Amino acid sequence: MNKETTPFDTVDYLKTPEDMANYLDACLEEDSGVGLLVRAALNEIARLSVPLA
């Protein structure tokens, strides 16, 4: 049986600068030390067109 899924994009849930900061903080805490999770988070935040100031 095939399950139908919908695409997920983290960027859809980062609406404010505070959301972005909290997301990055969580990724910093959960990263294994290699930096892959932090780099992925920074790339996702960079994709946003929301000004950070």
pLDDT band at 1 (very low <50, low <70, confident <90, very high): confident
Residue 49 has pLDDT above 60, yes or no: yes
Residues in the chain: 53
Does any domain span residue 35?
A: yes
CA 41/CA 53 separation, integer angstroms: 19
Helix and strand counts by DSSP (H, E) for the chain? 2, 0
Give residue-wise pLDDT tens across range 3-40. 999 999 999 999 999 999 999 999 999 999 999 999 99
Query: Which residue range(s) make up the domain with 33?
Result: 12-46
CA 27/CA 36 separation, integer angstroms: 9
Domain count for the chain:
1
Torsion over CA: 11, 15, 17, 18 (sign): negative
pLDDT number for residue 50:
57
Does any domain span residue 42?
A: yes
- The pTM assigned to this predicted structure is 0.78
Instruction: Identify the residue whose tokens are 């909290």.
Output: 22
